[in-house]
């Protein structure tokens, strides 16, 4: 599903990722680990075509970085859910509209939007908060809205970039359980984090970035 072939990325002439070859299969749960600044976010940006590799190829769902056309990028991004540490919710829209916005921009019909939004809000346990504004929610609830928005297009893979970085340990575990539930339904999940305790509880594959190299490890 996701394939890296001899990928090299540099920033200001400094190598960030070097000769990366990697495969992520449908239904995988992958924890992407490494210290801050080693290239975890860079690797995720390569997956959703926000950054082209300097060398090598990244392929996902039939699209390849070396041949994809600019007009095709929005199409593949609709198959990728992305969750960030800093929620990026629209402050002037309620919970329902924040999630629905992801469907409006892709031209989904109104009656279908309603069905999908209510379904994903139920999945993340926020049906009762549909009319609430972001400022009325806790940090954990805001992050659940972000997960709902990421999942409303039924993506093949969910990329979570430090999704628990602003949360207390108990809430972080709740968010981890949500990711595991999403994964159990068939969506591949890539969790980028430097929270090793979270990784130990996550199970699945562990991929480490260190000194520009990417390797799969058994445990941390």
Residue-level pLDDT at 88: 86
Quote the CA–CA distance of 159 and 45 in Å, as a whole number. 10
- Which tokens belong to 80? 């990728």
Per-residue pLDDT, 112: 95
- The confidence score (pLDDT) of residue 116 equals 96
Distance CA 174, CA 201 (A): 12
pLDDT in tens, 156-199: 999 999 999 889 999 999 999 999 999 999 999 999 998 899 99
pLDDT of residue 107: 83
Residue 219 has a pLDDT of 87
Residue 87 pLDDT: 80
Q: What is the pLDDT along the chain (220 residues), one digit of tens a residue?
A: 999 999 999 998 899 999 999 999 999 999 999 988 899 999 999 999 999 999 999 999 999 999 999 999 998 999 999 998 788 899 999 999 999 999 988 889 989 999 999 999 999 999 999 999 999 999 999 999 999 999 999 999 999 999 998 899 999 999 999 999 999 999 999 999 988 999 999 999 999 999 999 999 998 8
Interior angle at CA 193, CA 90 and CA 170, nearest 5: 75
At 201 the pLDDT is 95
Cα–Cα distances in angstroms (integers) from residue 4 to residues 13, 17, 59, 115, 123, in the given order: 21, 11, 7, 36, 32
CA distances from 99 to 60, 62, 72, 95, 158 (A): 25, 27, 23, 6, 15
Q: What is the pLDDT of residue 128?
A: 97
């Amino acid at each position: 599903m996701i394939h890296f072939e001899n990928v090299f990325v540099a920033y200001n002439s400094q190598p960030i990722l070097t000769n990366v070859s990697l495969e992520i299969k449908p239904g995988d749960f992958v924890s992407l680990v490494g210290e801050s600044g080693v290239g975890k976010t860079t690797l995720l940006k390569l997956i959703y075509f926000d950054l082209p590799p300097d060398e090598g190829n990244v392929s996902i769902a039939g699209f390849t970085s070396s041949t994809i056309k600019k007009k095709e990028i929005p199409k593949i991004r609709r198959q990728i859910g992305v969750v960030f540490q800093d929620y990026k919710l629209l402050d002037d829209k309620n919970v329902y509209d924040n999630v629905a916005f992801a469907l409006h921009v892709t031209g989904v019909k109104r009656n279908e939007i309603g069905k999908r939004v209510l379904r994903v809000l139920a999945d993340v346990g926020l049906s009762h908060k549909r009319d609430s504004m972001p400022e009325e929610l806790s940090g954990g609830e805001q992050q659940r809205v972000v997960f709902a928005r990421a999942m409303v297009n039924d993506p093949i893979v969910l990329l979570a970039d430090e999704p628990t970085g602003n949360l207390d340990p108990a809430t972080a575990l709740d968010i981890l359980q949500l990711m595991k539930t999403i994964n159990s339904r068939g969506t591949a999940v890539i969790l980028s984090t430097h929270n090793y305790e979270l990784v130990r509880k996550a199970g699945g594959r562990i991929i480490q970035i260190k000194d520009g190299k990417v390797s799969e490890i058994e445990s941390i």
